[in-house]
Amino acid sequence: MRNLLEVNNLTTYFKSNKGLIKAVDGINFTVSSREILAIVGESGCGKSVTAKTILGLIGQKKNEIIGGEVLFKGENLLTKNYREMQQIRGKEISTVFQDPMTSLNPLHKVGQQIAEVLTIHEQISRQAARKQAINILTKVGIPSAASRAEQYPHQFSGGMRQRAIIAMALVCRPDLLIADEPTTALDVTIQAQILDLLQDLRHELKTAIIMITHDLGVVAEISDTVAVMYAGHLVEKAPVKLLFAEARHPYTKGLLNSIPRPGSRKKLEPIPGQPPDLHNLKTGCNFADRCPSVMAKCRQQSPLLKKIAPDHQAACWLYEEER
């Protein structure tokens, strides 16, 4: 079966006064129908830039340089113009951002904003669009959806606003949903409800999801596959259970060792040092200065993401002999 999305050697660079910023530097991954892929890593590693490049929100300005391929249903999104991407965004590929207050217009009713997506992409009447908006609000768990649709965003709680954003993203039944830190601003109870909602909608609407997060608890809860990013590179990729049980890259091991575990008395081990300056990257592996297993070769040449076991990929010279 052909993958729904194929990202091949994707690069996203920014020109700045200090030089070239390599925010995303040659990453590769695929997403199949109904799959939930989690992209994880520290802040500034390139997760959100990857999502915005896929959506065509980066690459239009002179200081933005993109390269590689983003094949969606076999078509390269990077070759499409702004108007063509407008037709795809919201209908075939939708997104949920972290802060619902910046995604909803405070001057318009929630139901009106959801219905507008339908009138743009489906070209149906306002009455029919409003009916579908109420239906999708009901589906995402908004009580008294008909009356709530007539309210403004400030009249919704944080969890309800996030559900409304998810409703807006899913009202056209997209094939792919990109969720960029969708639960970060929510309390733990609402966070769990949102994750359950995404799981249910994935099965009901047959939607694939790219979940961008730094929260490994969210990753364990919802994802099928995990891709770990560091300084613009993918350093490890594996099914979620395999990655948590047998992490191979030193950076992934560091991430797992730095989170608390219920019932464990083991002292947390933070990753030493700081991520590299993307303006001034050194030769070799970007993690070399923080890696406990660094070798001479690590400072001379950057490793590529390669298969080290069935369904398991890592970019690390430690496994070169195994390959």
Taking 70 as the threshold, does the pLDDT of residue 167 lie above it? yes
Structure tokens at 225: 């596959």
Q: Which residues touch 242 (CB under 8 Å, ≥6 apart)?
A: 311, 312
Does some domain include residue 272?
no
Which of 222, 243, 262 terminates a domain? The answer is 262
Residue 37 shares a structural domain with residue 73: yes
Does some domain include residue 71?
yes
Taking 90 as the threshold, does the pLDDT of residue 277 lie above it? no
Residue 83 shares a structural domain with residue 118: no
What is the share, in percent, of the chain residues with pLDDT greater than 70?
98
Q: How many CB atoms lie within 10 A of CB 9?
A: 11
Does some domain include residue 312?
no
User: Measuring CA to CA, which residue among 50, 56, 24, 26 is closest to residue 38?
Assistant: 50
> Phi-psi category of 261—alpha, beta or left, where left has phi over 0 and alpha has psi -120 to 50?
beta
Does some domain include residue 321?
no
Domain span at residue 18?
1-92+181-262
Does some domain include residue 116?
yes
In the chain, alpha helices (H) = 47-54, 82-88, 100-103, 110-121, 126-139, 145-148, 158-170, 188-205, 216-222, 240-245, 250-257
For the chain, give me the number of helices (H) and strands (E)? 11, 12
Q: Which residue has the higher pLDDT, 77 or 188?
A: 77
pLDDT at res. 321: 52
Residue 86 shares a structural domain with residue 187: yes
User: Measuring CA to CA, which residue among 220, 225, 169 is closest to residue 195?
Assistant: 220
> Phi-psi category of 100—alpha, beta or left, where left has phi over 0 and alpha has psi -120 to 50?
alpha
Judged by average pLDDT, the poorest of 118-127, 183-192, 300-309 is 183-192
Which of 216, 238, 262 terminates a domain? The answer is 262
pLDDT tens per residue across span 284-307:
999 999 999 999 999 999 999 999
The radius of gyration of the chain's CA atoms, rounded to the nearest angstrom, is 21
Residue 1 shares a structural domain with residue 110: no
Q: pTM for this structure?
A: 0.91
Question: Are the beta carbons of 40 and 99 closer than 8 angstroms?
Answer: no
Does some domain include residue 290?
no
The CATH code of the domain that includes 73 is 3.40.50.300
